[in-house]
Amino acid sequence: MLEGERGEAARKALEIVVKVGEALGAEKLVKISSAHVSGVSYVNIGEAGLELIRDLALSGARFTVLTTVNPTAIDTEKWREMGIPQEIALKQLDILKHLELMGAQMTLTCTPYLLHPPAEGEQIAWGESNAVLYANSVLGARTNREGGPLVLFEAISGRAPYVGLRREEERKPTLLVEVDEDVRERLRNGVYSYPMIGYTLGLKVGRGVPFLNFKIPFEEVKGFLAAVGASSSIGLVLIKGVSPEAEKYTEVLNELEEIHIDTEDVETACSKISADYEEADAVFLGCPHLSPRELEEILSVIAEKGELKRRTILSTSRWALERVHRSKEELSDKVIALADTCIVVAPIEYMGLKKVITDSAKAAYYLSSKGVKTTVLPRKKILEEIL
């Protein structure tokens, strides 16, 4: 490939992957079975990103492994309803057109693990921190938190540097995390939520491979890990009873440094992303994108309620949307289910959102950094009391 046998684009892509590998001290490259490209929202990557993707596609570069794509700045069907200017929508569609030309599947979701779950031990190259954390921690696949452009070159060359979480030795736990009883009690009582605990853990631990000695209900793992990814550079959490690799380390746990998450930690961490906003403009659910089951559950609550108190925005994949069938008449016109995007990667300034209630600590973190006022609450409370 480096000699140009598979074309100039593949030669250049591999050359970049080799250079990155050398800089990281990798002993070799490994073959990857899939790639997930993040950083595709025109709002985030702008003209420079668009040009890079367009130039690659037009130079003949093609993905050689299953390649999926993260959410974009627009719902490709409802962008007018979102209030997004045509100029931005067209730029976004141009990015997507060229990714598709290179052979990407237009999944446009941050939950590729629901559509194409990799097997345990499989080497993959995924961007998007929540997807990386899920693939490593829940499925036992192997990937680092790859940067946007690097994934493109890995997807073209089908190779990635053998470093970090790709290596068995780097997947060992570095710290034992215990959750104090009063935090558990608040979780049981619905005062705290799992994303709040994930956000706190990320802030407190920061890096490495924490071993969480606390079982998380399976349906809560996605939101928990997304929050860890938002507040830290962690790419793998070994969760008792969830992670396939957790079991083999139970004997060495007493050798690890131990930290505790207490209520003060949670209060301090969450005070940065959550405050009381009585007059919120909207409720946002779906960060990470809602699975078909979550979407069905939320839509049944909404259908039962009839009229909603607040504008409600759901974000999900088109794949999930196609699996849930609800007629428009059943749902209040205050609810909009967006596919292909979320309000974090969309140009939110056109959507009239200044104060948002969400169940996602990750969304709250990024929205706060854009100047939106946020309140994080457990989903159950939002569905029962806030909608």
Q: What is the contact surface with ligand F3S in residues (CB under 6 A)?
A: 70-71, 110, 130, 226, 287-289, 315, 342, 344-345, 362-363, 366
Residue 21 or 229 with smaller CB distance to ligand F3S = 229
CB of residue 345 to ligand F3S, shortest distance in Å = 5
Residue closer to ligand F3S by CB (options 56, 348) is 348
Closer residue to ligand F3S in complex, CB, 146/265: 146
CB nearer to ligand F3S: pick between 140 and 288: 288
Least distance from ligand F3S to the Cβ atom of residue 289, Å: 5
The least distance separating ligand F3S from the CB of residue 344, rounded to whole angstroms, comes to: 4
- Smallest gap from Cβ 30 to ligand F3S, in A, equals 26
Residues in CB range of 350: below 8 A, 6 or more apart: 82, 83, 84, 85
Smallest distance, Å, CB 233 to ligand F3S? 16
**Rounded CA gap, 209 and 239, in Å?**
10
The least CB distance from residue 44 to ligand F3S, in Å, is 10
Name the burial class of residue 277, with classes exposed (0-12), middle (13-18) and buried (19+) by CB atoms within 10 angstroms of its CB.
Answer: middle
Instruction: Using the minimum distance from each CB to ligand F3S, give the nearer residue, 71 or 198.
Output: 71
- Distance, C-alpha 360 to centroid of its chain: 11
**To the nearest whole angstrom, how small is the minimum distance from the Cβ of residue 376 to ligand F3S?**
13
The nearer residue to ligand F3S, 45 or 179, going by C-beta atoms, is 45
Q: Which CB atom, from 187 or from 285, has the smaller least distance to ligand F3S?
A: 285
Task: Closer to ligand F3S by CB, 315 or 374: give it.
Answer: 315
Smallest separation (angstroms) from ligand F3S to the CB of 109: 8
